[in-house]
Structure 1
């Protein structure tokens, strides 16, 4: 399979979401949240007081949420456009927060964080926290080996997270109160390093891989079904388009953590037609949750 470049000149694109007919993404290093249409025309929707990491999703009522990772805050954009603090996570972590997913019941899951890394390491063991619709915050998983992309199945009963440093996708059962249990390996990915992920209607997951410069579609158990190779690191992917059958890939040249914030603008959005539409959360049809 091949992908077509539709937008370039980004810094690092992350946290893609299909929302109201466009691909929204975080342009790490700039503070920008962009929306890109299917022809590649981009618009700055919001500039946030964060450099990296930051990630986005929406509440069921349509209000935008932004994880300001280093600041330890979950921000919410209210109807008048102002950003307010939706939840304060600073007391739960010594390291930055990373990704977010809001399920169909309005439960918010945020990963990353956790204890300080060991000397010489960039990241310590990560966690997953839950913020319920009533505002209660609690940790629901720990010891995640570099927590990255997350999805929740359409029935709101399974959460899958990419453990990049463990080279696997890990699943949890989701209880009625949002708690996570029955942790298990959903797919062992061998020498691949999953970053952002997306779930399709056949129960398969697409994952982006930075060092191996590809996106791969995998079935539970680890069988690889499709692969899209590009010429730079793949940081995230999302299913979208009018019928949900377009895979959007966020890619950029990787030169190490110390060079993530720079003047280089090697980031791209690519697209490829795929067979199965997106399902679950984050929803490719966000805005009509």
Structure 2
């Protein structure tokens, strides 16, 4: 594991999530500033719009419109022509705040949720993965997931991989042309599935807490480790073959490969993720490091 130089691109955020690379710039959500922004590689920010109920994951539909998670009211928002509208209401299918998403080539959106009241210290409950079709209809496509979070789709569109942040693992599914998931299996297991119920118990049993992630051309995942203060490169099966630690005092909660050659890994970093500690602070930063293998797949 060679040491990689980490540089700061942007500072002054509250808590960044959902990073994406598109049209030559980075796109990010900021939970507690309630903003969705574009940020250039040299650190110039343009705020595009605000999401009252807290933005998270994002992606683009085939028509080029942007979809963003509205976490607390459990909706997907569509942003087009300078205006936002509700694409889908997932509140009937969600046990906690909505989370990250990935969109397939046909415009089907796969999105998870917390499953329980994380910020309020509620007991752990599993959650579902939902599919939102282009007509806005919602279908639960997988259940019993431990905090389904960052997800990717392989370049051939045949496999969806979802991180279970509180499950010490990544889970894979075969993805059919109609959006059906099948052949559920463990893609990477870092430690046994936690057995605790409280947030404190579960966090203490995590070895890797997969958060936002990005697939590379070798079929490996770069994953933010939400309890380890690092991004890790994971091979199929779960071996950690590389890592990039955050500067002291910072965690890493999402990452994404991008840049002109797909070899820049953007890291969303902050001291922690707790709303009561982050909402009025401006200590989150975007960091970047160069890696050897470029981006592949979705997002």
Q: TM-score surpassing 0.5?
A: yes
C-alpha distance in 2 between matches for 1:245 and 1:54: 23
Unaligned runs of 5+ in 2: 192-206
Q: Deviations over 1:19-63 (max 9, x none)?
A: 111110001101111111111221112112223x53211111110
- Cα deviation, 1:133-166, whole Å, max 9, x if unaligned, reads 2333200001110111011111111111111111
The answer (yes or no) to whether the contact 2:78–2:85 under 8 Å persists in 1 is yes
The separation in 2 between residues aligned to 1:114 and 1:246, in whole angstroms, is 32
* Cα distance in 2 between the residues matched to 1:68 and 1:123: 22
User: Which residue number corresponds to residue 63 of structure 1?
Assistant: 65
Aligned twin of 1:277: 294
Which residue, out of 253, 257, 266, partners 2:274?
257
Query: Any idea what SS the aligned residue of 2:292 has?
Result: coil
Residue 223, structure 1, aligned to residue 239, structure 2: yes
How many corresponding residue pairs?
278
Q: Give, in whole Å, the separation in 2 of the partners of 1:142 and 1:182.
A: 13
Tell me what 2:31 maps to. Answer: 28
Report the Cα offset of residue 67 of structure 1.
1.1
Q: Distance in 1 between matches of 2:150 and 2:88?
A: 20
Q: Which runs of 4+ in 1 moved over 2 A?
A: 113-117, 119-124, 133-136, 256-262
Do 2:13 and 2:33's aligned partners in 1 also have CA atoms closer than 8 Å? no
Structure 2 CA distance for aligned equivalents of residues 170 and 149 of structure 1? 11
- From 253, 266, 290, the counterpart of 1:248: 266
**Matched residue SS, 1:166:** coil
Give the conservation status (yes or no) of the 8 Å contact 1:217–1:227: yes
Give the structure 1 partner of residue 9 of structure 2: 6
Range with greater deviation from structure 2 (207-216 or 127-136): 127-136
TM-score w.r.t. the length of structure 2 is: 0.88
Instruction: Give the TM-score normalised by the residue count of structure 1.
Output: 0.91
Q: Residue 29 of structure 1 contacts residue 260 of structure 1 at CA under 8 Å; is this kept in 2?
A: no
Question: Which residue number in structure 2 is paired with residue 286 of structure 1?
Answer: none
Q: Is the 1:213–1:230 contact (alpha carbons within 8 Å) kept by the matching residues of 2?
A: yes
TM-superposed CA distance for 1:175, in Å, is 1.5
Question: Is 1:234 aligned to 2:252, yes or no?
Answer: yes
Q: Quick one: structure 1 residues 258 and 270, their matched pair in 2 at CA, closer, same or farther if it must change by over 3 Å? A: closer
SS of match in other structure, 1:91: helix
* SS of equivalent residue, structure 2 residue 171: strand
In 1: Cα distance, 2:50 partner to 2:275 partner? 23
C-alpha root-mean-square deviation of aligned residues, in Å? 1.8
1:201–1:278 contact (8 Å) kept in structure 2: yes
